[in-house]
Amino acid sequence: MIGTGILKGMAVTARNFVGSYFDKERLITIQYPEERNPLPENYRNFPFLIYDGDDPHAGLRCVACKICEKECPPQCIYIVKSDDKKPDYMGKPQFYPKVFDIDISVCMSCQICVEVCPFEAIKMDKEFELSKRERFDALLSRKEELSKSNDYYHKIHPLEAAAVDKNLADAAAVAEAKKKAAAEAAAKAAAAKAAATKPPPAGDAASVPGKPTPSSQQ
Amino acid sequence: MDATVQTIEAMERPPVTMASRLEGELLEVSMGPQHPSTHGVFRMNVALEGEIVRKLKPVFGYLHRNHEQIGEHTSYLGSMPYTDRLDYFCSMSNNWAYALSVEKLAGIEVPERAEYLRVILAELTRLQNHASLLGFLLSDMGAWGTPLMYAFREREKILDLFESLAGSRMMCDYMRFGGCRLDASEEWLARAKQIVDRFPEFLDEFEELILGNEIVIGRTQNVGKLSAELAISAGITGPMLRASGVNYDVRKVDGYGFYPRFKFRIPLGNHGDTYDRLMMRALEMRESVGILKQAFAQIQPGPIVNPKVKVRAFRPPAGEAYGRIEAPKGELGFYLISDGGPNPYRYRVRPPSFINLTVLEDLCLGHTVADVMVILGSVDIVMGEVDR
């Protein structure tokens, strides 16, 4: 009979309408500024720089190797390398970025900078309420705004941050062990040299194993 | 829709005056979905005789972003996030098609778990694409709001899954050459399985809501018929081709990924009209649910990425490759030529929406203006992919 299809459809609509008063599944709208869905752990939107400890300058992990600047598909990162060096988390003197700008009006949140960074220095933020009143400089994030502490990273991505910390600690431990072994080898070699003139074995004590240095990649 | 007095060939024809329009000459109307949230920004110059379409000229290019040229200037990895933005409803299947062609080019093996994850994500993409298509189609037909809301309710659940796995709802950027970026946890798989298990409930409800509806039947049956001969000669693929009764599905023909391991059927239409195209999506969703259930049962823990593939300074050997998959809208292919450098020498996308759109005029001729929107909706286009 003509019209039964329409009546059936209306029954579905009525079921959904009445059901929304009783069934939480059918009432799906979130009243956004007051109510919020929790963000999933993996959520990402814009990158930020990590520093260890309390001082954003001294603890900054970034060594201004410019890999992210080169790999960024929309080219939204701008880095100027420093003239002097400061010690990194393992005490090795490294350059640091004098200027580190990310144009978040260009950034497309693809997280390729995070994947290519050999120093675990750049990570994705979860901040998404970023509307600004000016059109130009306000959307250009400077180094000072981008630098955020490792504690903040632990707060937004707990699992990932724990894994990163473990990696860095392992790398530091391996480097430390290697340094010790190299020192011993050097001492032994010096002793051997004293005995017979032999060249000492060369060991690159400070390189991070598993994380190749930028110079070896280019 | 706004009526203008501009002509298609303004140079050749005398200006249309009010008098000549009243005498029954062709009236030209500029119409089209002009809001980016549904299909995209598109314009059709339609020549009307009364209400009957006598001529139709699609005008596109409003969303042109030079995708292929950008692909030739960024690294292979750098193109991956751009592929999300082709067909922004199905970023996962776009990623897969691109990864597949690069893997073919460089001869990269993909671990088993990654292949299963790819199948799961591509089928979830198909579910949410077809669900939102049905909603949009009904919305184009004048059923404002209700069916679209029900479809988006289901789509939202799948997008939440994507967000918790890949970090973003629509711009997933999830697949990498030789695998996937992040592993899916057991909880994620359990949640996905629960959503897929409950998906047929939505399908039953939606079919009850629309597919038996007399108005829908009246508006779609015998409207926009596409013959199998025309579909084949115009290179139409995907559900639109199968609605015309041609048994061609890249999942079966190529057997890429792990599709040969799954049992599923290809629904085929009989008439090639809009109703068949609509039904095709509903039936395909049921088959996708079947594939997903098998994939959840078969997936095993293991590595998700081939460790031999370099993230930085990835350079495939010189050569060419064409990788194609059955995207929800049709055959999506990426053709790459490498000269051994860090970026492709040639990067070409074979977009299903664009090629399916080429027969629009043939479908619309002889139908009324109101049918044009329905036919356009049933073609299932996304302008991000048409214009690139």
Q: Are B153 and A28 a contacting pair at CB < 8 A?
A: yes
Alpha-helical regions (H) of A32-119:
67-71, 112-116
B213, B216, B221, B310: best to mutate for the A interface, most A CBs within 10 A: B213
d(CA A122, CA A69): 12
pLDDT score, position B12: 53
User: Which alpha helices (DSSP H) does B299-333 contain, by range?
Assistant: none
pLDDT at A205 exceeding the cut of 50: no
Check CB contact under 8 Å for A12 and B208. yes
Q: Which of A53-57, A130-134, B369-373 has the lowest mean pLDDT?
A: A53-57
Interface residue A216 vs chain B (CB under 8 A): no
Q: Do B163 and A124 touch (CB under 8 A)?
A: no
Interface touch A9/B168, C-beta < 8 Å = no
Q: Min CA distance, A134 vs chain B (Å)?
A: 25
**The token pair that represents B229 in the structure block:** 């001969």
Supply the DSSP string of B19-81, one letter for each residue. HHHHTT--EEEEE----TTTT-S-EEEEEEETTEEEEEEEE--TT---HHHHHHHS-TTTHHH
Residues of B in contact with A73 (CB under 8 A): 74-75, 78-79, 81-82
In this predicted structure, what is the pLDDT of residue B20? Answer: 52
- A69 at B interface, C-beta within 8 A: no
Closest-CA residue in chain A for B174?
A110
- Residues on chain A touching B217 (C-beta within 8 angstroms): 5
Separation CA A185–CA A178 (nearest Å)? 10
Q: CA of B195: how far to CAs of A154, B141, B169, B174, in Å?
A: 30, 29, 16, 20
Residues in chain B within 8 Å Cβ distance of A42? 163-167, 182
Which of B78, B164, B205 is nearest residue A112 as measured by Cβ atoms? B78
Residue of A nearest to B312 (CA): A116
Q: Smallest Cβ distance to A71: which of B78, B171, B181?
A: B78
The DSSP call for residue A41 is T
Strand order across the beta sheet in which B330-338 lies: B319-327, B330-338, B346-350
DSSP letter at B2 equals E
- B165 → closest Cβ in A13, A42, A112: A42
What would the 3-class secondary structure string for A170-204 be? HHHHHHHHHHHHHHHHHHHHHHHHHHCCCCCCCCC
pLDDT averaged over consecutive 10-residue blocks of chain B (388 residues)? Answer: 48 53 69 72 82 82 86 87 87 90 87 89 90 84 81 87 87 86 86 89 83 81 86 89 88 85 88 87 90 88 82 84 89 89 88 87 85 85 82
Task: Give the chain B residue nearest A124 (alpha carbons).
Answer: B167
Q: Which chain A residues are closer than 8 Å to B81 by Cβ?
A: 73, 108, 110, 112
Which helix (H) or strand (E) element contains residue A158? helix A158-195
* Cβ of residue A145 closer than 8 Å to a chain B Cβ: no
Put simply, the answer to whether B156 touches A28 (Cβ < 8 Å) is yes
- Enumerate the H helices of chain B as residue ranges: 18-22, 67-73, 79-84, 91-106, 112-141, 146-166, 186-206, 214-220, 228-233, 239-243, 250-253, 274-298, 352-357, 360-364, 369-379, 383-387
- In chain B, what residues touch A108 (CB-CB under 8 Å)? 81, 171
Strands B319-327, B330-338: pairing is antiparallel
Which of residues 183 through 202 in chain A touch B, CB cutoff 8 A?
Answer: none
Q: Give B75's contacts in chain A (Cβ within 8 Å).
A: 71, 73
Give residue-wise pLDDT tens across range A97-131: 888 888 888 888 888 888 888 888 888 888 888 88
pLDDT band at A217 (very low <50, low <70, confident <90, very high): very low
d(CA A2, CA A96): 76
What is the per-residue pLDDT for B2?
Answer: 47
Sign of torsion over alpha carbons B125, B130, B135, B140: positive
Place of tokens 């600047």: A69
**Smallest Cβ distance to B213: which of A6, A72, A111?**
A6
Contact (Cβ atoms closer than 8 angstroms) between residue B222 and residue B372: no
What distance in Å separates the CA atoms of residue A23 and residue B149, rounded to the nearest whole number? 16
Contact B313 A217 (CB under 8 A): yes
In A, minimum Cα distance to B157 occurs at: A28
Q: How far apart are CA B147 and CA B132, in angstroms?
A: 9
CA distance B138 to B141: 5
- Return d(Cα B294, Cα B282) in angstroms, integer: 19
Cβ under 8 Å to A: B residues 173-232: 173, 181-182, 205, 208-210, 212-217
- Mean predicted confidence (pLDDT) in A129-157: 82
A75 interfacial to chain B (CB closer than 8 Å): no
Q: Report yes or no: A2 at the B interface, CB cutoff 8 Å.
A: yes
A128 touches chain B (CB under 8 A): no
Query: Hey, which bits of chain A come out as E strands?
Result: 47-51, 77-81, 86-87, 93-94, 97-103, 122-124, 140-141, 147-149
Which amino acid, residue A170? D
Residue listed under structure tokens 């959307």: A139
Separation between Cα atoms, residue B222 and residue B134, nearest integer Å: 18
Q: How many CA atoms lie within 13 A of A150 on its CB side?
A: 18
Rounded-to-integer distance, Cα B66 and Cα B388, Å: 6
The alpha-carbon radius of gyration of chain A (Å, integer) is 27
Contact A28 B313 (CB under 8 A): no
CB < 8 Å to A6, chain B = 213-215
CA A158/CA A165 separation, integer angstroms: 11
**Which residue intervals of A34-101 are DSSP H helices?**
67-71
- Residues A14 and A11: their CA atoms lie apart, in Å, by 5
Strands of the sheet with B43-49, listed across from one edge: B2-3, B27-31, B43-49, B52-59
A with B: how many residue pairs have Cβ under 8 Å apart? Answer: 81
- pLDDT grade for A214, boundaries at 50, 70 and 90: very low
pLDDT category of residue A197 using cuts at 50, 70 and 90: low
Q: What is the ipTM of this complex?
A: 0.73
What mean pLDDT value characterizes chain A? Answer: 78
B314 has which bridge partners? none
CA-atom Rg of chain B in angstroms: 22
Side-chain half-sphere exposure of B271, counting CA atoms within 13 A: 13
What predicted TM-score, i.e. pTM, was given to this entire model? 0.82
The answer to whether the beta carbons of residues B243 and B226 sit under 8 Å apart is yes
Residue identified by tokens 């068949």 is: B276
Would you say residue A207 has pLDDT above 50?
no
Distance of CA A107 to the CA centre of its chain: 15
